[in-house]
Structure 1
């Protein structure tokens, strides 16, 4: 299986790292290209052993999948640059936020298109990925896509219109967790812990909680550690007093809305 990555940012790198690390693809089966940043392409070649697409773009004709991984504003130009080099059998796998399958096909021809929204935890095989595909994607290609995406984490097949919500929850979600980890660390330091100790304790807390989440209902887990009139109850009450749930809802809603806006801007 050969893949060409059009776009070479953090998402593409995370997926490349995951594919190679899980041995789903060999480095020589992956080629990379972008608009103009040769230094970035050379870094990926040197770091992972992947190929840089040559000027003739023959790699595109041999590709089973073409990964679109650029900013939405650059997608139309990128598709225009590669369109003539794609074959009818090429499957486009887009991780471009907000840009619809119909819009991609408008710029590339009526090719099979899958849209996925992974996150950068793909780098360690822990992505939460939502995927939808066009009717041109055969059952065989759907199976191959599932294999590709499941090698970098969990996969949930959704309706295309639901990918905006997937973006708001899972695509952007790691940043929310990192932000909370930052805040907890800062609060721990204010309460007298050293930076080193606070960081270690927060990391282990998130690691343990993430593992527990795999085995139990979220609400039940919270209730089990929240003894009446205890320290956890006091902390959760402070979250409620500051409308923590409303803040999280607003956060997810804002990211979901922005995904929808990016699609409209592209169209």
Structure 2
């Protein structure tokens, strides 16, 4: 991929850098990081992953083959304004920012090859679930290179750009939902008399085992659930409690709310119209 410059040094940038460095897809010598003001964060990234800091010298920005936009959505317009004059016209752009449409990036950085993706923080250990889409300026070869890069941190699914809002709500935010459910199961187990340590290990292994069954068996989750649920047994009692409390509706509202927020973030990232 040549040289890559990360604009933004937050958790998502770190997750991707950790993934591609650990997998050996790229040398840290070819990875550069810059952000708005947090020098301490930049030095942490340098010391932890061996990447280079792009401040104040920005020569690598002009030489970059790929620029990864990894700022907060509210900061994207200013970030693009800061780099547009130094960016090589041939440099491709990969955005990992929730909600921000390709059209906004084209307005800020010009018509160039632009990919928009939504990884999640499991990229740190090479287990991300990532959705990606692109504009018409990206040819098939560059598509393959970007997919190869993202595949180093997990699975990649190509979707229509509008579907990235749903991807963001599902797998982008999804790890937090899982962690929240682990919290809830752990707290419930402690209330029933287990120690926190025992509960934690049992919950984690339950998630690992269930995920492995889904992946390896290839069967419908409803069938796997029914296989565990004996008539009048303990699992049925638990499932009925979830049904009484509208578990599926709660999950649907969770994903829908996140999807709506993703669209709102895209709107908020757009510059305010100029007053006449």
TM-score (ref. length: structure 2)? 0.95
Instruction: Answer yes or no: is 1:263 the counterpart of 2:255.
Output: no
Paired residue total: 267
Match of 2:40?
39
Aligned to 1:246: 249
Deviations 1:159-210 (A, max 9, x none): 0000000001010000000000000000000000011111111111111111
Instruction: Tell me the CA shift for residue 220 of structure 1.
Output: 1.2
Cα distance between partner residues in 2 of 1:251 and 1:226: 26
Contact 2:29 2:52 in 1 (8 A): yes
The aligned residue for residue 239 of structure 2 is 236
Q: Which runs of 5+ in 1 are unaligned?
A: none
Residue 73 of structure 2 is matched in structure 1 by 72
Counterpart of 2:238 in 1: which secondary structure?
A: helix
Partner of 2:126: 125
Counterpart-to-counterpart distance in 2, 1:265 and 1:222:
41
Tell me how far apart the structure 1 counterparts of residues 62 and 115 of structure 2 sit (CA, whole Å).
18
CA distance in 1, matches of 2:184, 2:226: 23
Q: CA deviation at 1:88?
A: 2.1
- Cα contact 2:75–2:269 (8 A) shared by 1: no
**SS of 1:192's equivalent?**
coil
| Other-structure match for 1:202 | 203
Deviations 1:103-123 (A, max 9, x none): 111011111110000000001
Which SS does the other structure have where 1:258 is aligned? Answer: helix
Structure 2 counterpart SS, 1:93: strand
Q: Distance in 1 between matches of 2:62 and 2:214?
A: 44
**What corresponds to 1:101 in structure 2?**
102
CA displacement at 1:140 relative to structure 2: 1.2
- Which deviations, in whole Å up to 9, do the C-alpha atoms of 1:25-52 show, x marking residues without a partner? 1111100000000000000000010000
Q: TM-score, normalised by structure 1?
A: 0.98
The alpha-carbon deviation at position 56 of structure 1 amounts to 3.4
CA contact (8 A) 2:7 2:67 kept: yes
Distance apart, 1:54 and its partner CA: 3.3
The 5 Å alignment of 1:5-154 reads 5-154=6-155
Unaligned runs of 5+ residues in structure 2 are 271-276
For residue 204 of structure 1, give the secondary structure of its aligned residue in structure 2. helix
* Aligned with residue 230 of structure 2, among 227, 230, 237: 227
Partner-residue secondary structure (3-state), 2:149: helix
RMSD between aligned residues: 0.8
Looking at structure 1, the residues matched to 58 and 8 of structure 2 have their Cα atoms a distance apart, in angstroms, of 14
Distance 1:176 1:50 in 2: 31
- Looking at structure 1, the residues matched to 123 and 212 of structure 2 have their Cα atoms a distance apart, in angstroms, of 17
Contact (CA 8 Å) 2:10, 2:70: kept in 1 or not? yes
